[in-house]
């Protein structure tokens, strides 16, 4: 047979595959990417079959493949001569050693025939569609498809193939979240590290890879898969590493990189913000280098920037501020001369008509006052005005400040920045002596039409239910009277656990109700799973109905249902500032049940304070 020697200069490795058929050689030449091709002079004297290589080469499938490419002849010991040529091409010392990563070709099944590989599109051929694209899911592109193609064209030994199969079987059945499995080019990273040109992006990718290995080693389900994958990894890389050594080295690498790089979620490197200087200026000047390494490793540079920013702010204040103040003393804030400013106070604008049209009239009045440069204050309970597409330039929104005391919202009687959508009508009615029965019924009616924005309104509803905090409606579930405040004082993990607890209670009660009505054949225990940042749901969730709760960066919740949780989470995380959002999910029996639970959670979670 033929022998093919491959040298990877960046990794300083070589491998030799022997006993190859002519078809196997041609397939490898068509699928591998190489910069230089050398043919040994022994091929000129090969007289087997029709593959006769004369002085200039003639006949045979291999010659037909090579004749259209640039190649050189070489003689002598194939491995030694080829490594010598590689050292010369890349300017390496002759003492540079290359590691032999050859894997024995014994007990390996035969690859596809060249004709078969071409006919099913495994080898890209014009006019022939790829069978792999039909067999694999639509989102299974890139590396997965290349991996399967390589298994068909270069099948491993039965022992290694069995390891790959067993890893797939275990992966199908795992219930825990799995890492994202960061994919990087080892050759590229080695080159960058050797030349000391690796930036924070490459180092972060390296940390992601080793952190994912550490994550798998700490999980009983994933640890078994990691053990099995060591064998195929050894064949692919030529590196045979013991399990404990791999995990320990990964921990060491992760800690070293973490000690240097500024990691996501850390504080202390915000862009400068000083009076008299637009924030956009500092954003343009500092965003390209801040957030790369920890400040302690470049304290001098950070101090110089802080000093320069302060000096600039002082210079602007001293040189330009007097000029600006002088102009303001001659002109009103809207460009007209002094003396033409009017000031208005409007209380409860347009309250004497029906809500929808009154809101639009009020919005039009606000636009007009803003356009003519009028100063003033407009108060309203028409909260729909905040949803109108008003064309204003100088209008700002203020609201009455509130505090939550004993689970109920109380006004602070202080004006704060922001939009207010809560009138505290039920609390005011209670204070004015309106009977409890009337207030309670009003809250029920309010919830029926405003279920998704009912948190503040239901505070009092819980107060008026019963001393134990149970809601009397038979369709409702038991929720604690004390609301859970999603404030910065509550840790992310605590918020996640509180959401899981509430979701479990709601879903279990609903499934019990459906089972009693014989809407579902059997009652299963609700198991709530979480998927953290840079993790993804297990493959078993694909094609299975589930409901999920996504915790957004602003700590609000998004509730949905899907039959493809992996794809849905990928879509959510593709949006800006959503790359690392965590979710919790519950597997449910069918899409109909998922729809019911989705609606119920949208209505119920605000009641528990989320």
pLDDT tens-digit readout, 14-63: 999 888 888 888 888 888 888 899 998 888 765 543 445 544 444 577 87
For 564, the token pair is 């493809």
Low-confidence stretches of the chain (pLDDT beneath 50): 48-51, 54-58, 339-341, 451-488
Q: Which two tokens stand for residue 154?
A: 């270069």
Question: What pTM value is reported for the model?
Answer: 0.64
C-alpha span between 397 and 387 (Å, rounded): 13
Provide the CB-side half-sphere exposure for 150 (13 A, CA).
Answer: 12
Domain with CATH 3.40.50.300 in the chain: 344-449
Beta bridge partners of 4: 17
Q: Is 288 helix (H, G, I), strand (E, B) or coil?
A: coil
Residue 231 to residue 283: CA distance in whole angstroms: 48
Can you read off the two tokens belonging to residue 258? 């973490």
Q: What is the bridge-based pairing of β-strands 13-20 and 2-8?
A: antiparallel
Instruction: Please check whether residue 177 is in contact with residue 238, taking contact to mean a CB–CB distance below 8 angstroms.
Output: no
| Helices vs. strands in the chain: H and E counts, helices first | 20, 15
Torsion angles phi and psi, residue 474, rounded to 5: -65, -20
Query: Which residue has tokens 């009687």?
Result: 413
Residues facing residue 174 across a β-bridge: none
Sheet holding 99-100, edge to edge: 2-8, 13-20, 99-100
- 274 burial (CB, 10 Å; 0-12 / 13-18 / 19+) is middle
CATH of 492-608, one of 3.40.1440, 1.20.1050, 3.20.20, 1.25.10: 3.40.1440
Query: Class for domain 344-449, per CATH?
Result: alpha beta
Phi-psi domain of 72 (left: phi exceeds 0; alpha: psi -120 through 50; beta: other): beta
Query: Where in the chain are all domains bearing CATH 3.40.1440?
Result: 492-608
User: Is-contact 582 530, C-beta < 8 A?
Assistant: yes
Q: How far is CA 425 from the centre of its chain?
A: 41
Residue 559, beta-bridge partner list: 549
Strand, coil or helix: what is 223?
Answer: helix
H-only helix segments in 17-157: 22-31, 61-66, 78-89, 114-119, 131-135, 143-153
| Helix spans in 334-399 (H) | 355-371
- On whether the CB atoms of residues 607 and 458 are closer than 8 A, the answer is yes
CA distance 587 to 591: 10
* Gap between the Cα atoms of 66 and 26, Å rounded: 9
**Main-chain phi, psi angles of 81, to 5 degrees:** -65, -40
The pairing of strands 583-587 and 398-405 is unpaired
Q: How far is CA 600 from CA 497, 505, 523, 595, 606, in A?
A: 19, 12, 18, 9, 11
* Distance (Å) of CA 381 to CA 202, 375, 423, 446: 54, 20, 7, 16
Contact residues for 587 (Cβ-Cβ < 8 A; gap 6+): 527, 541, 544, 545, 546
CA 355-417-449 angle, to 5 degrees, is: 35
The CA distances from residue 290 to 219, 312, 440, in Å, are 35, 19, 54
Q: Report the pLDDT value the prediction gives residue 435, as an integer from 0 to 100.
A: 87
């Amino acid at each position: 047979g033929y022998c093919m020697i491959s040298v990877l200069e960046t990794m300083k490795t070589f491998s030799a595959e022997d006993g190859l058929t002519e078809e196997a050689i041609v397939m490898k030449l068509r699928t591998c990417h190489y910069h230089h091709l050398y043919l040994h002079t022994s091929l000129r004297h090969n007289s087997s079959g029709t593959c006769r290589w004369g002085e200039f080469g003639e006949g045979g499938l291999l010659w037909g493949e090579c004749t259209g490419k640039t190649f050189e002849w070489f003689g002598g010991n194939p491995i030694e001569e080829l490594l010598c040529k590689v050292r010369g091409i890349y300017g390496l010392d002759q003492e540079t050693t290359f590691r032999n990563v050859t894997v024995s070709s014994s007990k390996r099944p035969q690859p596809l025939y060249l004709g078969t590989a071409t006919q099913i599109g495994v080898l890209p051929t014009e006019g022939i569609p790829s069978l792999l694209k039909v067999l694999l899911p639509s989102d299974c592109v890139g590396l997965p498809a290349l991996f399967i193609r390589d298994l068909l064209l270069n099948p491993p030994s039965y022992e290694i193939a069995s390891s790959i199969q067993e890893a797939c079987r275990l992966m199908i059945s795992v219930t825990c979240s799995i890492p994202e499995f960061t994919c990087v080019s080892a050759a590229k990273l080695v080159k960058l590290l050797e030349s000391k040109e690796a930036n924070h992006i490459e180092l972060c990718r390296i940390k992601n890879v080793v952190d994912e290995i550490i994550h798998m080693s700490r999980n009983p389900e994933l640890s078994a898969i990691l053990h099995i994958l060591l064998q195929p990894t050894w064949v692919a890389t030529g590196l045979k590493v013991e399990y404990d050594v791999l995990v320990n080295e990964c921990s060491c690498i992760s800690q070293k990189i973490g000690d240097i790089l500024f990691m996501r979620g850390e504080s202390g490197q915000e862009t400068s913000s000083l009076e008299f200087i637009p924030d956009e200026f500092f954003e343009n000047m500092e965003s390209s280098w801040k957030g790369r390494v920890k400040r302690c490793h470049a304290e001098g540079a950070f101090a110089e920037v802080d000093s320069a920013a302060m000096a600039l702010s002082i210079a602007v204040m001293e040189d330009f501020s007097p000029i600006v103040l002088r102009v303001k003393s001659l002109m009103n804030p809207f460009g007209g001369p002094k003396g033409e400013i009017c000031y208005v106070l409007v209380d409860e604008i347009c309250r004497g008509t029906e809500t929808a049209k009154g809101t639009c009239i009020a919005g039009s009045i606000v636009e007009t006052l803003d356009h003519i440069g009028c100063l003033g204050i407009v108060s309203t309970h028409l909260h729909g005005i905040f949803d109108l597409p008003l064309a204003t330039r100088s209008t700002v929104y203020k609201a009455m400040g509130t505090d939550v005391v004993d689970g109920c919202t109380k006004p602070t009687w202080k004006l704060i920045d922001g939009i207010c959508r809560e009138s505290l009508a039920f609390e005011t009615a209670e204070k004015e002596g309106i009977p409890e029965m009337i207030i309670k019924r009003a809250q029920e009616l309010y919830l029926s039409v405003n279920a998704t924005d009912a948190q503040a309104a239901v505070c009092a509803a819980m107060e008026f239910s019963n001393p134990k905090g149970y809601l009397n409606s038979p369709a409702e579930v038991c929720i604690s009277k004390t609301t859970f405040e999603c404030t910065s004082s509550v840790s992310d993990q605590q918020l996640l656990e509180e959401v899981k607890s509430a979701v479990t209670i709601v879903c279990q009660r609903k499934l019990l109700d459906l089972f009693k009505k014989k809407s579902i054949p059997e009652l299963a225990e609700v198991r709530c799973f979480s998927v953290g940042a840079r993790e993804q749901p297990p493959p078993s969730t694909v094609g299975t109905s589930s409901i999920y709760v996504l915790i957004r960066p602003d700590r609000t919740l998004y509730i949905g249902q899907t039959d493809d949780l992996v794809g849905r989470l990928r879509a959510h995380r593709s949006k800006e500032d959503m790359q690392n959002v965590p979710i919790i999910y519950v597997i449910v029996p069918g899409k109909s049940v998922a729809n019911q639970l989705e609606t119920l959670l949208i209505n119920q979670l605000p009641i528990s304070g989320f």
